[in-house]
Structures are given as structure tokens and as C-alpha cells.
């Protein structure tokens, strides 16, 4: 009972603190902008811990954060092995191949309006489909190891990337293209000096969407068969053994990997598209 | 209409590639059979055989179509072998989850827009949640809910709900904030209350954003429902058809389930699109 009351008190206190911070004159500063969500996150963890202990929720339903943390620290070697298998080998290689293929295809069909009119609606249509369903087929074709996961990722990221790149290549303005013409620039010079740089915000938008898709594709594809390592494999087997602390530890890794991947792409974007209005502050 | 011919050309090219791929990928089996029988397979025999194998590596399009026809039209829809039956299992979970996820998302967005503390605490997490693969916790939800005695539709709908929840929150916050300072000032000169401002300005202005996120959300919901069917051990639903197909090497079954899922997804997105067009036109917001 004391745990539950403690949880309620902590929640009220933290909420009061956040309301005060948000209403105070400091609300615009960077520190407060960072502190408020952190306080909220910590509150969730504390309330979770206290409620699980107070209501004596069994560990096979919801383990408390401290247990998950202990499990995480105790099985770093396994988690790292799974991370390498799923993220580095599966998701990252698929991401690079898929995005490179999509940008290449976009440049290849760039000179043919006919192909563009044909491929874009098809690409848009396919991008909305549950492509994850191709996972069992690709696992059958490429075997259980990371090659099939990379293949699923390639298929998943290809179409969003293609649509974004084609849109981006069309985004330079007539005036700018005319200027290139007055310089008597060739097609390739215009492409590399004007149109590809102008397409970068769109390309990075596609890349950012693809980071999440890549990780999802690699993890879900492992549900359809994998060697005895990998994040998706660990999640599905540990769920079967009711080892939920391990599942949560694996989910923590997935969350960190996903945010770090996205953050890395966003950071590169900041460097490449420094000229774009959305990057100025 | 202008793009009809190019689209058809691309689709025809895909079909040609598919048939070519089917011959190429399935020919190994044919050649093995011929070698075992001690005969030489002619090119013609290879092509004919690769079109009609029972468990091809890549089924030819017409095999998938005939399987689809067989399981959609010929079987009674109450039969467990009917694909319509399985599609409905998945679709009902998708829709239930989508409705709850959307409603919850809209409510949270309204709270975020009107409460500064909530905005500062929750919004960064809602945005961060877009970058993490939340689909990974689907198997856990199914098993945990199963162990407390909740089975069938609800766990899958729960996964669908949280997958559609976050896109709706993010899109809806953007939409509710989209009225400019001029419009908000005008409301203030009318001495409009916050409630009136919400109903008369913020909510109508958010509609284009809402529909954009609904399209993302419903596609995500369907994926969630399909993945949610995997850990229960392939009983019912489109995900279960794919999983049992991959267990038993029934490639034609996987492909037909995949096409059914694609058709359901396309249908759902199209329905949202139609509602969007009608609503925006009646509101005078159509481009």
C-alpha cells in the first residue's frame, strides 16, 4: 500500500514541478526544455516501479524497471551480439543498399517523364502496402541468416526513398534551371551542381523515414526464422519462455538503436542542408 | 488519364519480370527432376513446368490469381479455408484498434495544445516514439494479455491502436497549431472563448493534417494486426496464413495472403482518401 501511495505522491509532486517550470519565466530556456520531458520520463519509471511492487504484479506480466536494468547490465554480451546481427548486418546493410538503389533508380528515370509518370503512382501505391508481408517469402529465398533480413529492409526502404528522391529532383525552380542553361551547363553538371543539392532536403526526409522502417523490417523478419541470435529472435523466444525482463532489455536496445540511427541521419542532414530554411535558427 | 499508359506499361514490365523470374528461379527443381529421371528437359518443358509447380520458389502470377479466386470466390466465407474469412479477422482487429488509437490520439493532442506543461513533457516523447521500432513489442503484448486471460481480437486491436496513436498525436498537434497569429487574433477580437476558438477555428483548420496522419495510421494499424497474429501460433488471420505458409513451404498461400493484405491496405487507404476528399471539399479546403 505504501508503494501505491508513494507513487501517487511522486506523480503529483512531479506534475506540480513540471507545471511550475512550464509556467515560470525560465520556460524558454534550453535547460528547462530538456528538464521537463526528462522529469516526465523519470516519473513514469518511478510510478511503474512503485505500482508493480505495490500491487505485486508478477514478473511474467510486467517486470519493474530496476529488474530490467539489472538484466540489461547482466547480459550485455548477448545484447551486443543481437545488436550486431540485427542492426549492423541486417538493418544497416539493407538500408544502405536499398537507399542507394532507390536514389540510383530515381536518377535513372529522371530523364524519362514517361517512366516517371508510370513509376511514381506504382511506387506510391506500393509504399502504402504492408511490405513486411514479403518477409516470409524473402526468408525462404535468402535463408535464415542476415541476408534475408537485409533483403526485407531493401524492399521496405526502396519505395519511400524512390518517391522522395524523384520529388526532390523536381524541386529546383525554373529560374535556377534557366540560369544553369545560360551557363551552358551539361545535364550532368546541372544534376550535380543544382538539382541533387536542391533534392537533399527531400532525400533526407526519405532517409529519416527509412531508418525506422529498416529497424522494424529487420526485427519482424526474424520472427519468420533466424539463426539463434538477433533482436527479433531473442524477443520471440524469450516471450515464449516468459522471460519478460530480457524482452524489455532487448526493446531498450531497439529504442536506443532506433533513436541513435535517426539522430545520426538528422545530424548529417544538418551538415549537408545547412542552407535550408528549416535548419536556420 | 494522362498517366494511364505509363502506369500500364510499368505494370506490364513488372509482370514480364515476374514471369521471367518464375522460370529462372523454379527451373532448378525441374532440372533436378529431369536429371533424376535420367532425361533431358527441353526449354519448352522447363517453361511449362515452372508455370505449374505445387511448391514453386516463385509462383507465377496466374497461379497466385487462381489461388486467390479459389479462396476468395469459391469457398464459403465462413469456411476456415476462405481468405475472406481470414481477411475479416485481421480487418476487424485493425479497425477496432484504429478507431480507439485515433480517438485517444486526438484527445491527447487536444490536451497538448491547451496545456503547456503537458506539451513540454509529453510531446518530445511522442516525437521520439516515431523513431523507435515499437512494433517489436507486439509479441510481448499478445503473450502478456494471453496470460491474464485476454485473447482473440483485443490484443491485436491494442497493437493496432498504439501504432496508429502516435502518428495521429503528432499530426493533430501540428494541425491544431496551424491557425496563424492573424486568425487567432481575429478570434480574440470577437472575444471568443478557448472552447469557441477550438471548435470554430482550431478543429476545422486541423482537418487536412488529421487526414494525412489517418492514412499513415491505418496502414500502420494493418501491419500491427498482421504482426500481432504471428506469435499466437498461426491460427486465424492474414498474418497466420503467411506464417503457416512459411512453415509448410506453401509459397502460393503466402503470396495470396500477401495480395489480400495489399488489397485490404489499398482499400482502407482509399476509403480514408475518399472521406478526406468529400470532407475537405464540403469545408472548402480542397486544393
Q: What is the DSSP string of B125-173?
A: HHHHGGGS-GGGGHHHHHHHHHHTT--THHHHHHHHHHHHHHHHHHHHH
Q: Is A137 on the interface with B (CB under 8 A)?
A: yes
A window 199-218, beta carbon within 8 A of B = 211-212, 215-216
Residue A26 has pLDDT above 70, yes or no: yes
Q: Is A108 on the interface with B (CB under 8 A)?
A: no
Average pLDDT of chain B to the nearest whole number: 83
Distance CA(B99)–CA(B95), nearest Å, equals 6
Residue B1 has pLDDT above 70, yes or no: no
Answer left, alpha or beta for residue A130, where phi above 0 means left and psi between -120 and 50 means alpha.
beta
Give the residue from chain A lying closest to B130, CA to CA.
A212
- Per-residue pLDDT of B5-30, as tens digits, reads 888 888 888 888 888 888 887 777 77
- Per-residue pLDDT of B232-287, as tens digits, reads 655 788 888 888 887 787 888 888 888 888 888 888 988 998 998 998 888 887 65
Q: Give yes or no: residues A42 and A76 share one domain.
A: no
A17-21, A163-167, B148-152, range with greatest mean pLDDT: A163-167
Whether A160 is in a domain gets the answer: yes
Nearest to A22 among B117, B231, B257 (CB): B117
Q: What percent of chain A has pLDDT over 90?
A: 11
Residue ending a domain, choose from A57, A84, A104: A57
pLDDT at A154: 92
Q: Give yes or no: residues A141 and A255 share one domain.
A: yes
Q: Give yes or no: residues A30 and A109 share one domain.
A: no
Q: Is A16 on the interface with B (CB under 8 A)?
A: no
| Local confidence band at A99 (pLDDT 50, 70, 90 cut-offs) | very high
Distance CA(B88)–CA(B255), nearest Å, equals 18
Least confident of A244-253, B75-84, B194-203: B75-84
B window 154-213, beta carbon within 8 A of A = none
Residue A87 has pLDDT above 80, yes or no: yes
Residue with cell 510481448: B140
Residue A227 has pLDDT above 90, yes or no: no
Domain span at residue A203 reads 72-279
Q: Give yes or no: residues A96 and A29 share one domain.
A: no
Whether A64 is in a domain gets the answer: no
Q: Give yes or no: residues A263 and A180 share one domain.
A: yes
Q: Is A78 on the interface with B (CB under 8 A)?
A: no
Residue ending a domain, choose from A27, A57, A87: A57
Contact B125 A119 (CB under 8 A): no
Give the residue from chain B lying closest to A112, CA to CA.
B6
Sorted by sequence, the CB contacts under 8 Å of residue A240 that are 6+ apart come out as B143, B231
- Per-residue pLDDT of A131-179, as tens digits, reads 888 888 888 888 888 888 899 999 989 988 988 898 888 888 889 889 9
Q: Give yes or no: residues A11 and A133 share one domain.
A: no
Nearest to A141 among B57, B124, B136 (CB): B57
Whether A153 is in a domain gets the answer: yes
Radius of gyration for the alpha carbons in chain B, expressed in angstroms and rounded: 25
Contact A211 B131 (CB under 8 A): yes
pLDDT at A179: 92
Whether A172 is in a domain gets the answer: yes
Q: Give yes or no: residues A37 and A99 share one domain.
A: no
CATH number at residue A104: 1.10.3720.10
Q: Give yes or no: residues A141 and A275 share one domain.
A: yes
Count the domains in chain A.
2
pLDDT at B186: 93
Contact A132 B230 (CB under 8 A): no
Which is more confidently placed, B39 or A67?
Answer: A67
Q: Give yes or no: residues A109 and A160 share one domain.
A: yes
Q: Give yes or no: residues A114 and A220 share one domain.
A: yes
Q: Choose among A159, A171, A173, A169: nearest CA to A206.
A: A159
Residues of A in contact with B222 (CB under 8 A): 130
Whether A124 is in a domain gets the answer: yes
Q: In angstroms, what separates the C-alpha of A40 from chain B's closest C-alpha?
A: 6
Distance CA(A269)–CA(A200), nearest Å, equals 8
Residues of A in contact with B155 (CB under 8 A): none
- Report, as an integer, the average pLDDT of B211-224: 88
Whether A176 is in a domain gets the answer: yes
- Per-residue pLDDT of B178-206, as tens digits, reads 888 899 999 999 999 989 999 989 888 88
Tell me whether residue B124 is exposed, middle or buried, using C-beta atoms within 10 angstroms of its C-beta: 0 to 12, 13 to 18, 19 or more. Answer: middle
Contact B136 A60 (CB under 8 A): no
Q: Is A242 on the interface with B (CB under 8 A)?
A: yes
Interface test with A, best of B2, B4, B5, B6 (most A CBs within 10 A): B6
Whether A117 is in a domain gets the answer: yes
Q: Is B246 on the interface with A (CB under 8 A)?
A: yes
Residue A281 has pLDDT above 70, yes or no: no
pLDDT at A96: 94
Whether A65 is in a domain gets the answer: no
Q: Give yes or no: residues A78 and A196 share one domain.
A: yes
Q: Give yes or no: residues A49 and A87 share one domain.
A: no
- Report, as an integer, the average pLDDT of A225-251: 85
Contact B147 A261 (CB under 8 A): no
Q: Is A1 on the interface with B (CB under 8 A)?
A: no
Amino acid at each position: 500500500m505504501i508503494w501505491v501511495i508513494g507513487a501517487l505522491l511522486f506523480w503529483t509532486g512531479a506534475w506540480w514541478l513540471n507545471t511550475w517550470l512550464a509556467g515560470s519565466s525560465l520556460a524558454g530556456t534550453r535547460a528547462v526544455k530538456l528538464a521537463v520531458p526528462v522529469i516526465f520520463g523519470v516519473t513514469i519509471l518511478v510510478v511503474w516501479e512503485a505500482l508493480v511492487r505495490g500491487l505485486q504484479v508478477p514478473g511474467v506480466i510486467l517486470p519493474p524497471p530496476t529488474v530490467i536494468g539489472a538484466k540489461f547490465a547482466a547480459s550485455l554480451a548477448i545484447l551486443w551480439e543481437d545488436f550486431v546481427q540485427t542492426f549492423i548486418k541486417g538493418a544497416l546493410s539493407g538500408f544502405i543498399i536499398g537507399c542507394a538503389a532507390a536514389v540510383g533508380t530515381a536518377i535513372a528515370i529522371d530523364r524519362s517523364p514517361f517512366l516517371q509518370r508510370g513509376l511514381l503512382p506504382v511506387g506510391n501505391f506500393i509504399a502504402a502496402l504492408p511490405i513486411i508481408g514479403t518477409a516470409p517469402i524473402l526468408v525462404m529465398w535468402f535463408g535464415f541468416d542476415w541476408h534475408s533480413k537485409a533483403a526485407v529492409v531493401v524492399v521496405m526502404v526502396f519505395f519511400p526513398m524512390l518517391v522522395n528522391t524523384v520529388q526532390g529532383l523536381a524541386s529546383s525552380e525554373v529560374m535556377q534551371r534557366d540560369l544553369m542553361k545560360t551557363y551552358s551547363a551539361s545535364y550532368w553538371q546541372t544534376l550535380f551542381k543544382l538539382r541533387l543539392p536542391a533534392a537533399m532536403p527531400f532525400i533526407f526526409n526519405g532517409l529519416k523515414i527509412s531508418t525506422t522502417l529498416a529497424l522494424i523490417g529487420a526485427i519482424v523478419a526474424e520472427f519468420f526464422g533466424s539463426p539463434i541470435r538477433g533482436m527479433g529472435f531473442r524477443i520471440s523466444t524469450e516471450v515464449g519462455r516468459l522471460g519478460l525482463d530480457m524482452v524489455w532489455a532487448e526493446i531498450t536496445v531497439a529504442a536506443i538503436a532506433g533513436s541513435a540511427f535517426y539522430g545520426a541521419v538528422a545530424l548529417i542532414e544538418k551538415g549537408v542542408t545547412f542552407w535550408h530554411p528549416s535548419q536556420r535558427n | 488519364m494522362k498517366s494511364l499508359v505509363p502506369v500500364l506499361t510499368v505494370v506490364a514490365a513488372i509482370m514480364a519480370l515476374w514471369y521471367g523470374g518464375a522460370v529462372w528461379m523454379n527451373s532448378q527443381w525441374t532440372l533436378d527432376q529431369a536429371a533424376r529421371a535420367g532425361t533431358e528437359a527441353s526449354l519448352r518443358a522447363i517453361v511449362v513446368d515452372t508455370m505449374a509447380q505445387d511448391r514453386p520458389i516463385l509462383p507465377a502470377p496466374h497461379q497466385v490469381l487462381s489461388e486467390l479466386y479459389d479462396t476468395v470466390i469459391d469457398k464459403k466465407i465462413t469456411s476456415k479455408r476462405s481468405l475472406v474469412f481470414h481477411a475479416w479477422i485481421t480487418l476487424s482487429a485493425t479497425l477496432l484498434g484504429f478507431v480507439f488509437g485515433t480517438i485517444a490520439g486526438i484527445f491527447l493532442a487536444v490536451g497538448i495544445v491547451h496545456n503547456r506543461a503537458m506539451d513540454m513533457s509529453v510531446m518530445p516523447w511522442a516525437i521520439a516514439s516515431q523513431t523507435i521500432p515499437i512494433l517489436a513489442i507486439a509479441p510481448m503484448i499478445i503473450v502478456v494479455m494471453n496470460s491474464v486471460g485476454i485473447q482473440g481480437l483485443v490484443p491485436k486491436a491494442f497493437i493496432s491502436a498504439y501504432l496508429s496513436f502516435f502518428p495521429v498525436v503528432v499530426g493533430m498537434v501540428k494541425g491544431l497549431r496551424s491557425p496563424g497569429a492573424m486568425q487567432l487574433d481575429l478570434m480574440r477580437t470577437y472575444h471568443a472563448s478557448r472552447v469557441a476558438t477550438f471548435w470554430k477555428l482550431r478543429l476545422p483548420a486541423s482537418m487536412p493534417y488529421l487526414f494525412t496522419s489517418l492514412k499513415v495510421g491505418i496502414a500502420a494499424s494493418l501491419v500491427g494486426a498482421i504482426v500481432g497474429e504471428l506469435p499466437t501460433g498461426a491460427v486465424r488471420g492474414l498474418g497466420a496464413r503467411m506464417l503457416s505458409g512459411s512453415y509448410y513451404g506453401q509459397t502460393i498461400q503466402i503470396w495470396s495472403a500477401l495480395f489480400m493484405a495489399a488489397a485490404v491496405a489499398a482499400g482502407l487507404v482509399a476509403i480514408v482518401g475518399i472521406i478526406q476528399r468529400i470532407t475537405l471539399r464540403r469545408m472548402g479546403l480542397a486544393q
